[in-house]
Every structure is written in C-alpha cells, then in structure tokens.
A and B are shown apart, each in its own frame.
Chain A
C-alpha cells in the first residue's frame, strides 16, 4: 500500500498546451481519490502521468515514498483500468488476467492459479476460456479489474471505467467498485467527468479546471461548500443558483429579493460590497405567493425529475431554480417565493469568484501584511 505525492507536477505537450499545471497533491494510503472535471481539464493526463504513460515536464511524483517521476510504467507498481478496458482480444480471459504475471516471468502454473483465484473473487470463474468479444460490457470490466488486481499493485488508476456501461449496470458497478476497493485497501485514483460517480465513490476528490485543482475535499465538503463559483457550478445534479447581490442595510439585496447576510460571514462583508450569492436549489423552500423575505419570481419552467421537480423562477433581472417535492409542483405562471434554509447561503467574491469564509480571510491577511 502507498500514498501518492505530487510536487509541482506539470505536463506540457509539444506546442505549449499545458495539460497539468504545477500540481501539488497528496493522496493518502488506502484512499479512494476522485479526479473530477470537465472534458479537457487535464484529469486523464494527470492519471496517465501517474501511470508513467506520459512523461511529466516538471515537478516530482512519489508513490509509497519512492520517487517514480522518471520510472517506466512497469516499475511504478501501479495498475491501470482503461476507459474501454483495453483487453487483449486475441487472448482468453485467463490469459488477459495473467498477462502482468507473464511479464513478471511468473511460472505458467502459478500464474494460472493466481488468475483463477482472482477471477473467482470477481465472479468470472466460468468465463476463463472465453475471449473478450464473447463477454458483456460488465464482464469485460471485471476482467480489466482482475488484470489490475492480479499483480497486487500499490495503486489502482481508473480512467472512467464505468463510462461504457449502461445506466443500471453503472450503478451496480459503482457499488461493486467501492466495496472492492475497501476490501483490498489499495490506494485508488479514479478519473471521471460524472460528478455523481465521484460523490458516491470517493473518500476525497479534486475538481480540476485548465490543468489546475480548484478544490480538494470530501464529497460532502465539496458539495456543501464549493470553494469557488466554478466548483459551485460544476458540482450538483442541479446547478447552484449564483446570483449577483449588493450588501445594504445589513442584508443582501438581489434583483429578485432580499435575504439576510449569513451570520458566519457578517463581519467579513461591508456596506456597498457587490458579491455573488450561491444557494443550491435543494436548499430553497418555496411557498406560493409573494413574501417580503426571500426570493421572488414567476414560475417559467417545471422539470419533473421523478420524486422531485426543478422549478425555474424568473423575475425581470434574475432566474433561479428551486427543488420541490412532487406534491408541491406549482402551476406555470404562478408567483412564488423561496426562502433559503438556515446556514445554506454562500457568498463568493464578485471579482475572483472565491468563497468568502473566515479561513480565507485569515489566510489573506498575513499575505497582504507581507506585501
């Protein structure tokens, strides 16, 4: 078992495209760590750099305390599961699983035994003589996992391994993966663009944009307190409401209403400050009619999402969403109000988009004093 440590790690492609930009990141021993971000954010490049399939341009990378920055993939003691599984089509399931052991020159009998044992653990026992083309997507995924497991690596690297499965199988595979990782206790880095996967699987996660990490934290932290408007926009099955506001008379004045300044940041904002208010649609309580407290608007869209509905409210200058129960769906054109749940309103700087928190202010003050 081993933790992963990256210091100033960069990957710049010929032509100057910066895929990974001076990353400092620690993944703890045994941790399930998700790299999340939109397409082109550099998450897969980072994973491939950890695997050794891409040579880093700068910085250092250690696995289990051993510097592996310049080592070839085979010497890093990592095992990667590829997006399309990368099973060798000319080999049987048994040969695919045993391939890493064959490379390590393990004897035929021993590697066959290891392959069978690993296959049994993943319910592949009856499929050992089949070829990949004769397997379903879920079975192929388990063969790819078995090939990664069989050589007992220090680190698993998963490159969107669930993306080729249908929705139902993906849910099953997600649960299976999480249980397997906990049983094996192997440090795992999991790349995905699906935030639901990351939130469900990861112990901690990093959200990337343009080769840099915008936030690291537990899924709960990242969901409840996005560190900036990019993360706030990216995380959540329904996008967070990000509304311009001005501080006046101790309240936040928005185009669609007025709400109190959250108590925990009251001392950090000043009269006349322009800010961005972040409220998740799930944390707004909607009531029919117009009230003085809260946000007001006219119902313009109602999206039925099964057990709940996403209601879009509009007024002249702002649009925001509210999640309601299926029994509370308002009629189109109705005037409604929405009140934020206590402690659920976040404030972001209008200029930099960063979350306003006491911790951030404490960090900024010494830096400003030094400059």
Chain B
C-alpha cells in the first residue's frame, strides 16, 4: 500500500513540478511585480521599464493599479473586453447548441456533412482566420461586395470594429463548443429522448427538461473555456479590431512593447486573471454540484 502511494506520488511529481515552475511561479512573480516588488527575479523585467512603482516592502503598493484603472482608456478597453466576451459566449452557446442539437437529432447525410464542417475552423490557425475575417469585412471585402450586388447600397465596414472582433471570436470559438456539446448530447441515450416523447413532451420540452440538464457539464466547460479564451485573446482583436478601444490583450501588448511599461501590462494581466478566475470558480462549483447529484460524492 505504502509502495503504491509512493509510486502514485512519483507519477504526479513531474507534472506538479512543471505546473509549479512554469505556471504557479510566473503568476506569483507577476502579481508581486504589479504590487511593486521589482527586485529579485523581477529585476530583469524592471530593467526595461520606462516607468514603474516600487514598494517599500510588506505587501507592496497598489499605485500601479491606481494608475492603470484610473485611465479612462483602460476602463473602456476593460468594458470592451467584458462586452465582447459576454456577447461572443452567448452567441457561441446558442450557435453551438443549435448545431449540436441538429447533429444529434438528425441522422441525415446533411447532418453528417455539418458535423464534419463544424470542426474545420479548429484546423485553421487563428492568425490566418483573423486575417481572412478582416479582409472579408473590409471596405473592399467580399461581404460588402456581395451586399452591393444584393442591392444593399451602404453596408457597414465591420473590419477594425468591435463587431469585427466579436464575429472573429465567435468564428474561432464555435468548433470547440460544438465538439463539447455534441459529445455531451451524444452521451444521452436515445431511450431517454424516446421516454420523454412517450410521455408527450414536445421537442422543445425534451430539450429543456432532458437534454439541457443532462449536458450541463459539457455546456459549462464550453462556456468557461470559451470565456477564458476570449478574455485573454490577442490575435483576433489585434487583427480584426480597432486601434482603440480594443480588448485588454492588445492593450497589454501595447503597454509591454510599445510603452515599455511591463508593470502596467501585468496589472492588466492580473485584472484579466481575476475575471477569468470567476469563470473558473463557476466551473468548479458546477462540476461539484453535478458530481453530488450523480451520487459520485455522496
């Protein structure tokens, strides 16, 4: 027994070490740097800073937070980040549920074609997809050209707008969400759907009372990871969004490389991290609730 425990510990030791060194430690250092602890391991980063706030010891100083969060431009970027994330997540959720439901309930050849096509964006690098989206919605892009031919004289230019970012985020995020929700729906036995139909439930009622609750965890996973991915995204907003306001990923990059202010960049990173943590907490709670309901932890 003791030998088995030792073997188990040895097996998880390496991954734990990797997580500690490459994820845990950088998080601690970044938070420390944002609080003005600029020495030690942070001294190299501090050396390139044009402008930073140093702590006088103890827990540190929140001066960098005051500076960054009192800048209206940053607040606008924060709002854009949250709004784009919320709209994208809702749109991804609705679209991926619709696609996944169609795939689950229709055994047609068209559905199988859809199933194959729905994951294609996963295999296209985000930078290429973002550039394609930007060109598609440009002033002289395909979208406007098509709209002109269809008789729409002045269609909007969506490239370099917040709407463009949202469209890009949705395009990039849908395949993962479809995969998650499809796999959740595939795990629901046909007999349960038929039992609901036998009891007289309409399709909408079956979806609401059986499929949605039974796919709660895949849905939570899809929402959480989509939200966290969009919150911290850079490529899509950088290529498809406006110069300002833009999402915090782009702003962070500007602080870091254009303004040479890594401390302010890390303040923004901590803000994004805190928001993402809220999604992570929701995810953990939902998982725990599902486990309790299924009797796994009873």
Chain A positions near chain B (C-beta within 8 angstroms): 51-53, 72-75, 78-80, 82-84, 86-90, 99-100, 102-104, 131, 133-134, 147, 151
Give the residues in chain B near A147, CB-CB below 8 Å: 195, 199
Residue in A79, A86, A151 whose Cβ sees the most chain B Cβ within 10 Å: A86
- Compute how far the CA of A102 lies from the CA of B191 in the bound complex, rounded to whole angstroms: 19
Nearest neighbor of A102 in chain B, beta-carbon distance: B209
Instruction: Enumerate B191-226 residues with CB–CB distance to A below 8 Å.
Output: 191-192, 194-201, 205, 209-210, 213-214, 216
Q: What's the Cα separation between A300 and B283 when bound, in Å? A: 68
A188 to chain B, nearest CB (A): 15
The answer to whether A74 touches B194, judged by C-beta atoms less than 8 angstroms apart, is: no
What does the 1/0 interface line of B157-184 toward A look like (CB < 8 Å)? Answer: 0000000000000000000000000000
A186, chain B: closest CB distance, angstroms:
15
**What are 10 A-to-B residue pairs whose CB atoms are below 8 Å?**
A52-B197, A74-B200, A75-B200, A79-B198, A79-B199, A80-B194, A86-B194, A99-B196, A99-B199, A133-B294
B interface residues, Cβ below 8 angstroms from A = 189, 191-192, 194-201, 205, 209-210, 213-214, 216, 293-295, 298
B191–A74 contact, CB under 8 A?
A: no
Query: Given that A86-B189, A88-B210 are known contacts, is A133 also in contact with B197, CB under 8 Å in the complex?
Result: no
- A residues in contact with B214, CB < 8 Å: 88-90
Given contacts A134-B295, A134-B298, contact A84 B198 (CB under 8 A): no
Q: Evaluate contact between A88 and B295: CB separation under 8 angstroms.
A: no
Q: Are B200 and A90 in contact (CB under 8 A)?
A: no
A53 B197 Cβ-Cβ under 8 A: yes
List, in ascending order, chain B residues with CB within 8 A of A133's CB. Answer: 294-295
Which A residue's beta carbon lies closest to that of B193? A86
Q: Which of A84, A87, A103, A131 interacts with B200 by CB under 8 Å?
A: A103
- Among the listed B191, B210, B294, B298, which residue makes an inter-chain contact with A82, where contact means beta carbons less than 8 Å apart? B191
Q: Contacts of B210 on A, CB cut-off 8 Å?
A: 88
- Other A-B contacts than A90-B214, A134-B298, 20 sampled, CB-CB below 8 A, are A51-B198, A52-B198, A53-B194, A53-B197, A73-B198, A74-B197, A74-B199, A74-B200, A74-B201, A75-B200, A82-B195, A83-B191, A84-B191, A86-B194, A88-B196, A88-B214, A90-B213, A100-B199, A103-B200, A147-B199
Q: Main SS of chain B's interface residues?
A: helix
Q: Within the assembled complex, what's the spacing in Å between the Cα atoms of A104 and B201?
A: 9
* Contact status of A131 and B294, CB under 8 A, knowing A86-B189, A88-B192: yes
Please tell me if the beta carbons of A73 and B200 are within 8 angstroms of each other in the complex: yes
With a cutoff of 8 Å between Cβ atoms, the chain B residues found around residue A72 in the complex are 197
Q: Which residues of A contact B197 (CB under 8 A)?
A: 52-53, 72-74
**Nearest-CB distance from A178 to chain B (Å)?**
23
- Supposing A90-B213, A90-B293 touch, asked if A103 and B195 sit within 8 A by C-beta, the answer is no
Residues of B within 8 A of A53 (CB): 194, 197-198
Q: In the assembly, what is the distance between CA of A356 and CA of B298, in Å?
A: 64
Q: Which of B197, B198, B205 has the most CB of A within 10 A?
A: B198
Residues of B within 8 A of A90 (CB): 213-214, 216, 293
- Name the distance in Å between B114's Cβ and chain A's nearest Cβ: 19
In angstroms, Cα B209 to Cα A103, docked, is: 10
Give the chain A neighbours of B200 by CB distance below 8 A: 73-75, 100, 103-104
Contact of B192 with A86 in the complex, beta carbons under 8 Å: yes
> What residues of chain B lie closer than 8 Å to A89, measured between beta carbons?
214, 294
B201/A82 in contact, CB under 8 A: no
Contacts A84-B191, A86-B191, A88-B210 hold; do A74 and B294 have CB atoms under 8 A apart? no
Q: How far is the CA of A299 from the CA of B189 in the complex (A)?
A: 50
